[in-house]
Amino acid sequence: MLKYLRSICSSFLFRLVLLAAFLTPGWLQAQVSGNYTIDNRQPTANRNFNSFNEAIIFMANGVAGNVTFDVAPGSGPYNEQIFMNYRIRATATKQVVFNCNGVTLTFFSTNGLARAGIKMDSVDYVTIDNLKIVPTGSGAGEYGVGIHLLHDADHNTIRNCTIINQSNMAEPQNNEGIVINGSDDFSSSNGNANCDSNLIIKNTISGGNCGITLSSVPVYPHPYVMMKGNQVIDNTISDAYNAGIYILYNDNTLVQGNDITGGPHAERGNGIICFEDNTNMRIIGNKIHHFTADPSVTGDQFIGINFGGAYNSAATPNLVANNLIYDFQSAHGHYGIVAQYGGSHLNIYHNTISFEDHTIAGSGQTRGIFIDQYTDVNILNNIISISRTTSGRNYGIYLAQSIPMFNSERNLFYLPSGSTLGNAVGYSGGTQLTLANWQTKTGKDLLSVTSDPQFINLVPNDKAIDNMGQYAGVNNDITGAVRNNTNPDLGAYEFFTPTCLGPVAGGATTMLPNTTICEGSPMSMNLNGNSFGTNQLYQWQTSSTINGTYTNVGSALAHPASTLPAVSTLYYRAAVTCGTLVEYSTPILITVTPSLPGATYTINSAQATGGTNFQTFTDALYAIRCGIRGPVVFNVVDNGTPYREQLIIPKINGTSATNTVTFKGNGATIALATGTSAERAVIKLNGAQYFVFDGLNVKPEASASGQYGVGFYFLNNAHHNTIKNCTITMSITNNFSDLVGICMSPVANSYTSSNGPSYNDSNTIANNTIIGGHYGITCVSSPTAPHRGNVFTNNTIKDFRGYGIWISNSSNALVEGNDISRPTRTTQFNNPSYGIYSDGLHFRLQISKNKIHNLFSGARTNTSTAHGIFNSSNDARASGETITVSNNLIYNMDGHGQQNGITNSGANNVRYYHNTVSLEDSTGTATQLCRAFYSGSAATGLVLKNNSLVIKRGGTGTKHVILINDAATTIEANNNNLVNAAKAGANNFIGRINGSDYNSIDLWKQNSAGDANSVSVYPDYRNPASADFTPTALAMDNMGTAVGIATDITGAARHAAKPDIGAYEFLVCLPLGAGPNAKVDKESVDVVSFSWDPVVNATGYLVSTDNTNWVTPSSGATGLSHTITSGLTPNTEIPFYVQALGTQDGCAPANSQRVTAKIPGIKYYVPNTFTPNNNGKSDHFTVRSNAISAMRIMIFNQWGEKIFETSNQVAGWDGTYKGKQQPVGVYVYVLTMTMLDGTTVNKKGTVNLIR
């Protein structure tokens, strides 16, 4: 139904045609099936239809089975726009096929919401085969889209069609080839498409803006929904203005075997564009070539495959493989494969890029592969050959900045000539002219080469690179040929070279990066000067001596390039075999440096490095450069002077949760001022894992612009590290932003950039003191790859300039128990400034139990704006992954500027629970705004419960306890304490919503549609001068509602059902006065009773006989007496206590003095009268005693007849015999008793029965 409604609303023209059909008798049918024809040379009759739309109207009630329309060959052209919608109701077993037999469809449209020749709105299982579509619109306000699938159109097939589009240079996006998206408007307009599993195959498309577009751009603020499982295969696309294929927000899309060329209108010059979040993309086996431009025409660069902003996970990487990119001709830039604008997890395997144009003297640069702002990029088994003539430089591979998690290996870079500036293998932190330069700079491509591939029609023929690749899961080449699954060939083609014949040359053994290497490190082994040929094998061998016995390492390989682990110091050689011929390479000795044993060492600047001591941090780091074999502890000795050095820690082999590296600072200081932008920190954890810094003083000494001062900088997958009990001290007077206590970032030169994932996960920052600087702590990553599991707890952050804590794009992060203030800073305040600032996308972020206060205590007249907690346009998932801001205390913000306790600016799905905001500088004279809770830009899914928001600020500025600025904001507010006790000024309000102010809690409740159970009670804090903001007002007690917050700001447990409002769980206890006045009421052998007077304000009583174990009185929880009838022993005393309970749990009780009851000695009692009339009094004749161990009693009537006998001490005579009541009179009893002391008592007497 949803498909139907959506498609009908968007297809106005279709509705008109359908209405006409309803008015034509016989047109609408029941559900149909079978074979039909379309022939515009014949009328609509029998099983023929004169037009496509008439055939579609015929299916308006759905299909009952497969339906096939055979369009008559030679018919047409058909001048119409075809509209299909959900009413067809095709399924996997009831499909619709249009066999168009090459006929032509033309149309002209000026309707921006009806752009296409064929519009398939919410249509499933329809095939369009072999149709030629010629849109005629080509000017401003004219539209021409060949085929348009939208709004949940699934499982459709477009095949063998030809789309000849116009190049609309006035408005290029008006003309497209095939579009799959979620909007009736432009192909890349916002709209979740939900169009999945469609097949676009073997079509020929020319002209237009893009040949094929797959777009599912989300509609803010709704989460995006990617299209899934679409396939674009074996299409031929030419002369597209922007791109041959354009893809946005797709998942598991296959783009394979397409042939994409340029043309005179291909000004943007992109073969394939994959922008924004595309996951698990497979761009495989495409040919992108013959992009040409007149050298006099100014235009953009040509790009073969262009990725941008595609963030993924390791489980869903994008794959670019087996593509052939060649023959670009223009004066501008030429790029083979590009990844830019942020993104992650891109695998570039087995591509061939060849830019060899010498016909145009270009001026732009050439870059075979270009990477910028990406992470997790793997470049393997590619061929890049560039000899283009240009005054710009030709680069094989270009890294615009440091790329975290980057790997490049077994590639061929052939750049023999062409650039007047000189060709370069790569760029990374500068131009790297040679492969050796590139290897030294990056540590990558140690098994790559720079030889001539000797192309024959772009198929390599160089036997030196035959079988040189490493298997990467690509099982076929661009032609479909099966690849070698151990040593595949480089580039797009699997190829073969002549069989080895001999003579065999072993050559010389080579190893990179160095013949002295750390234990466990990879060694890139290869040969130089050896022979090659198909079927020649290479077997690596080792020996402890150069002429000793050699042992095989692994199995024989088809190419000598191999990566082996460094185990111990050995000689290495290769046995080179061709048939029966064997030669050995010249051996080399590889010296392996062992890892450092786990132990405790010292760092002492007063002693030279030696034994277990290191004179500097740098010496200690050098000692672990080759890894560790157990937990390592460096005890730092404080000699009174700082250690002046910079510590840059890479990933160290062997570290783990049990094998940590700990620097115990012991109060020592490490200090540094740096002017190097890429190395800004005193201590940089550059991929370091499981490091601990404990009790170290760190002083970033930057004091002027152009200097940098970061205490700790986490970068490049630095995870599971701990910074604790450290003190980071920076300037509290400087006004520049390059002073940071602790920074976790994806890039080396920005503290708050979200351009790329950082992978700085599971780090703990606890119990540190951070003084001064611009930022106390920053932790950021990209929105699609958030940092995970970082913990920031119990830190003291003081006198910062701008931000106490900044956190962006997190998953399961905890910001808790931090104390953030500016008690002594007197100058250079950022405007505005923030205690805690968060933005981006968060998953289960917790901001709790923090204290933010005294932000202008050193400059009380400063007029800068201050925010306690600020959530800025950050979003959380609505289902179980919300941002929770709870148990925070914000007070004494001071200053004369605008004050905002908690600000929510466009942040969705945030829960604000149990916060206390006290803006109560009643002596101030500020004229600026004041808000305890401020919602700025529109937000959805806000919850505000159990908060205590109090304003008592002086000055004439307007003051709102709650201000909801945007009417589109949705907020659930209740059980709050909202107080505006300000006296100064005329504009003091409880709240503002929908542009109106309300100055009382009752008016606010009536007009805000919330806070029904909220109160307005001044808290009467216990001791605010000592920062104790515990309320004492009874009217606030137990006024909250359960929201799942188990403890308060102090860690005290909250009441499960009725927690207290604000950050503190508190008790209000009324005085009980003196304890209960207890007394003994009865003392007997079988019963003792007590009573007491009521106690004012007591909520109940407990009693005890030992002053330890307390029970409820026998008269009930609020009764005033207690009776004991069991466990009574003759001649003993029973102590007794009463406890009056306080007004609620946790309130102190009041206890009585001890009273004592005395149990009489051994005796028995036989009554002389009983009245068995069932009134509950003396209904049985019973012997009572506390001293009988056994007893037998018999009853006789006046004639001597025995009418009752028992040995049960409890069961007495009820005055009956054989079920009949006995008459009133005197009866004789005979009683025999054995007492507890063993004596026997015999007694005979009479008893009166009275009724």
Q: How far apart are CA 496 and CA 498, in angstroms?
A: 7
Rg (CA), the chain: 44
The pLDDT > 70 percentage for the chain reads 96
Is pLDDT at 1120 greater than 60 in this prediction?
A: yes
Residue pLDDT, tens place only, 978-994: 999 999 999 999 999 99
pLDDT for res 641:
96
pLDDT for res 222:
66
pLDDT for res 1146:
76
1020 token code pair: 């009467």
- Residue in 265, 199, 263 with CA at minimum distance from that of residue 234: 199
Question: 599-603 and 632-636: which strand pairing?
Answer: parallel
Contact between 460 and 324 under an 8 Å Cβ cutoff? The reply is no
pLDDT for res 876:
67
Contact between 1017 and 1035 under an 8 Å Cβ cutoff? The reply is yes
Residue given tokens 């029966």 in the structure block: 580
Mean predicted confidence (pLDDT) in 282-288: 98
* Residue 1159 pLDDT level (bands cut at 50, 70, 90): confident
Judgement on whether residues 225 and 364 belong to the same structural domain of the protein: yes
Hey, which bits of 461-532 come out as E strands?
508-512, 516-518, 522-528
* Residue 502 pLDDT level (bands cut at 50, 70, 90): confident
227 token code pair: 């299209």
At position 681, the amino acid (one-letter code) is A
Is pLDDT at 1190 greater than 60 in this prediction?
A: yes
Mean predicted confidence (pLDDT) in 844-859: 96
Q: Is 276 helix (H, G, I), strand (E, B) or coil?
A: coil
Contact between 1015 and 986 under an 8 Å Cβ cutoff? The reply is no
Beta bridge partners of 518: 593
Residue pLDDT, tens place only, 394-420: 999 999 988 878 999 999 999 998 778
Beta bridge partners of 205: 163, 237
Phi, psi for residue 663 in degrees, rounded to 5: -105, 105
Contact between 575 and 592 under an 8 Å Cβ cutoff? The reply is no
> How many domains does the chain contain in total?
6
pLDDT for res 1083:
86
Is pLDDT at 588 greater than 60 in this prediction?
A: yes
Judgement on whether residues 1112 and 1188 belong to the same structural domain of the protein: no
221 token code pair: 């603020």
Q: Does residue 483 belong to any structural domain of this protein?
A: no
Neighbours of 1244 (CB within 10 A): 11
715 token code pair: 């970068």
Q: Which of 288-297, 567-576, 658-667, 1113-1122 has the lowest mean pLDDT?
A: 288-297
**Cβ-Cβ contacts under 8 Å for 5 (sequence gap 6 or more):** none
**Cβ-Cβ contacts under 8 Å for 1155 (sequence gap 6 or more):** 1078, 1079, 1080, 1090, 1135, 1136
Burial classification of residue 508, based on how many CB atoms lie within 10 Å of its CB (0-12 exposed, 13-18 middle, 19 or more buried): middle
Judgement on whether residues 861 and 739 belong to the same structural domain of the protein: no
- Residue in 804, 758, 753, 807 with CA at minimum distance from that of residue 785: 758
Judgement on whether residues 149 and 92 belong to the same structural domain of the protein: yes
Alpha-carbon dihedral of residues 352, 358, 362, 366, nearest 10 degrees? 20
Judgement on whether residues 1197 and 1140 belong to the same structural domain of the protein: no
Is pLDDT at 295 greater than 80 in this prediction?
A: no
Domain ends where: 805, 822, 850? Answer: 805
Q: How far apart are CA 844 and CA 878, in angstroms?
A: 10
Judgement on whether residues 1060 and 946 belong to the same structural domain of the protein: yes
pLDDT for res 22:
34
Mean pLDDT of the chain: 92
The pLDDT > 90 percentage for the chain reads 82
- Residue in 996, 1046, 998, 1039 with CA at minimum distance from that of residue 1017: 1039
pLDDT for res 12:
38
Q: How far apart are CA 738 and CA 718, in angstroms?
A: 21
* Residue 7 pLDDT level (bands cut at 50, 70, 90): very low
Is pLDDT at 359 greater than 50 in this prediction?
A: yes
Q: Does residue 265 belong to any structural domain of this protein?
A: yes
Judgement on whether residues 1124 and 1036 belong to the same structural domain of the protein: no
Q: Does residue 69 belong to any structural domain of this protein?
A: no
CA angle (832 as vertex; 826, 837 as ends), nearest 5: 110
Q: How far apart are CA 1227 and CA 392, in angstroms?
A: 134
Question: 1133-1140 and 1101-1104: which strand pairing?
Answer: antiparallel
Mean predicted confidence (pLDDT) in 649-658: 96
Q: Does residue 528 belong to any structural domain of this protein?
A: yes
Is pLDDT at 1084 greater than 90 in this prediction?
A: no
* Residue 24 pLDDT level (bands cut at 50, 70, 90): very low
Residue pLDDT, tens place only, 547-560: 999 999 999 999 99
pLDDT for res 1241:
87
pLDDT for res 398:
97
Neighbours of 223 (CB within 10 A): 12
Residue given tokens 């941002």 in the structure block: 883
Q: How far apart are CA 107 and CA 353, in angstroms?
A: 40
Contact between 1062 and 946 under an 8 Å Cβ cutoff? The reply is yes
Element containing residue 970 per DSSP (H, E): none
CA angle (1020 as vertex; 1018, 1025 as ends), nearest 5: 125
Q: How many helices (H) and strands (E) does the chain have?
A: 6, 106
Residue pLDDT, tens place only, 95-144: 999 999 999 999 999 999 999 999 999 999 999 999 999 999 989 999 99
Q: How far apart are CA 333 and CA 394, in angstroms?
A: 10
pLDDT for res 218:
87
pLDDT for res 1143:
80
Judgement on whether residues 675 and 737 belong to the same structural domain of the protein: yes
CA angle (728 as vertex; 725, 729 as ends), nearest 5: 140
Look up the pTM and report it.
0.76
* Residue 1164 pLDDT level (bands cut at 50, 70, 90): confident
Crossing angle, helix 12-22 and helix 2-10, to 10 degrees?
100
- Residue in 819, 720, 809 with CA at minimum distance from that of residue 767: 819
Q: Which of 22-36, 385-399, 1100-1114 has the lowest mean pLDDT?
A: 22-36
Judgement on whether residues 1145 and 1174 belong to the same structural domain of the protein: no
Q: Does residue 57 belong to any structural domain of this protein?
A: no
Sign of CA dihedral 985, 986, 991, 993: negative
CATH number at residue 628: 2.160.20
Report whether the peptide linkage leading into residue 317 is cis, meaning its omega lies within 30 degrees of zero. no
pLDDT for res 20:
40
At position 269, the amino acid (one-letter code) is G
- Residue in 367, 342, 332 with CA at minimum distance from that of residue 353: 367
Judgement on whether residues 262 and 353 belong to the same structural domain of the protein: yes
Judgement on whether residues 720 and 762 belong to the same structural domain of the protein: yes
Mean predicted confidence (pLDDT) in 538-550: 97
pLDDT for res 15:
39
Q: How far apart are CA 766 and CA 712, in angstroms?
A: 13
Q: What is the DSSP string of 1116-1129?
A: -TT-SEEEE-SS--
CATH number at residue 519: 2.60.40.10
Judgement on whether residues 1034 and 961 belong to the same structural domain of the protein: yes
* Residue 1184 pLDDT level (bands cut at 50, 70, 90): confident
Q: Does residue 487 belong to any structural domain of this protein?
A: no
- Residue in 275, 267, 272 with CA at minimum distance from that of residue 291: 267
At position 654, the amino acid (one-letter code) is G
Neighbours of 765 (CB within 10 A): 27
Q: How far apart are CA 171 and CA 168, in angstroms?
A: 6
Q: Domain range for residue 1243?
A: 1164-1249
**Cβ-Cβ contacts under 8 Å for 678 (sequence gap 6 or more):** 402, 429, 748, 749
Burial classification of residue 42, based on how many CB atoms lie within 10 Å of its CB (0-12 exposed, 13-18 middle, 19 or more buried): middle
Q: Does residue 20 belong to any structural domain of this protein?
A: no
Residue pLDDT, tens place only, 38-83: 999 999 999 999 999 999 999 999 999 999 999 999 999 999 999 9
Three-state SS across 572-625? EEEEEEECCEEEECECEEEEEECCECCEEEEECCCCCCECCEECCHHHHHHHCC
Is pLDDT at 2 greater than 80 in this prediction?
A: no
Q: Does residue 1150 belong to any structural domain of this protein?
A: yes
Residue given tokens 């986490």 in the structure block: 714
Higher-confidence residue: 929 or 875?
929
